[in-house]
Amino acid sequence: EAGVTQSPRYAVLQEGQAVSFWCDPISGHDTLYWYQQPRDQGPQLLVYFRDEAVIDNSQLPSDRFSAVRPKGTNSTLKIQSAKQGDTATYLCASSPRLGAQDTQYFGPGTRLLVL
Amino acid sequence: GQQVQQSPASLVLQEGENAELQCNFSSTATQLQWFYQSPGGSLVSLLSNPSGTKHTGRLTSTTVTKERRSSLHISSSQTTDSGTYLCAIGRNSNNRIFFGDGTQLVVKP
């Protein structure tokens, strides 16, 4: 069974540029999460979905960040106008069923550096 | 505020020594997991242990729910154990989990 895949693995931007991250969860998992992990900190949840519906996006900086999962499978996280403070690793995870307290399975992450 | 506190922040061992990692949390937890994050960044679940004691291989986790703490014991450490160990709690059925900042473990040969 293939794991969670993410692309790109690395991105380097100038401030003000836009970037998109892509995630393909494990097949059949209905719940998908995006986390931001600054250096030397634990992952912090940005947004999560059940199928195509957003369950909680309260931690997403909505003026510059957006996330979609249009068909309930793959997902895209976009930063419109990146800032140096966005430098972090962006992790995607999936779990089989919302509400079942299943383990989350993580992808390898995208490491973003904003200059 | 920080919901999950881990200690120590970093730990250096010689191969063969044992490691004891601590996790304290500020609210009740119905879910507690220990994760390992390799130096390259990939994060994997090691144990799910919301209460009691659980063993897998060289790992033993003990969670005392009433005292809001959990520990992870690694016996006979190996150089390949080097990396970051993260504790995460969940509070209800919505699958949302909260991570601590981790313990960075270095095992020297």
Q: Which residue of A has its CA nearest to B102?
A: A42
Q: Quickly state the pLDDT bin for B90 (edges 50, 70, 90).
A: confident
Residue B59: Cβ within 10 Å count: 19
Domains recognised in chain A with CATH numbers: 5-110 (2.60.40.10)
The CATH number of residue B79's host domain is 2.60.40.10
Tell me how many domains chain B contains: 1
**Facing residue for B95 by CB, picked from A89, A95, A108:** A95
What is the 8-class DSSP label of residue A104? Answer: P
pLDDT in tens, B31-51: 899 999 998 778 999 999 989
Instruction: Please enumerate in sequence order all residues whose Cβ is within 8 A of that of B13, keeping only pairs 6 or more positions apart, or say none.
Output: B19, B77, B105, B106, B107, B108
SS3 labels along chain B? CCCEEEECCEEEEECCCCEEEEEEECCCCCEEEEEEECCCCCEEEEEECCCEEEEECCEEEEEEHHHCEEEEEECCCCHHHCEEEEEEEECCCCCCEEECCCEEEEEEC
Contact (CB<8Å) A108/B40:
yes
Q: How far is A17 from chain B (nearest CA, A)?
A: 24
Domain with B86 in it: 4-108
Q: Do A25 and A94 contact (CB within 8 A), yes or no?
A: yes
Closest to B72 measured CA to CA, from B61, B64, B87, B82: B61
Contact (CB<8Å) A108/B102:
no
Rounded to 5°, the CA angle B82-B88-B89 comes to 160
Q: Which residue of A has its CA nearest to B42?
A: A108
Contact (CB<8Å) A106/B90:
no
- The counts of H helices and E strands in chain A are 0, 11
Contact (CB<8Å) B95/A45:
no
Q: Quickly state the pLDDT bin for A54 (edges 50, 70, 90).
A: very high
Contact (CB<8Å) A41/B42:
no
**Terminal Cα distance for chain A, rounded:** 37
Average pLDDT estimate for B71-95: 90
pLDDT in tens, B53-72: 999 999 999 999 999 999 99
Contact (CB<8Å) B93/A55:
no
Q: Does B100 touch chain A (CB under 8 A)?
A: yes
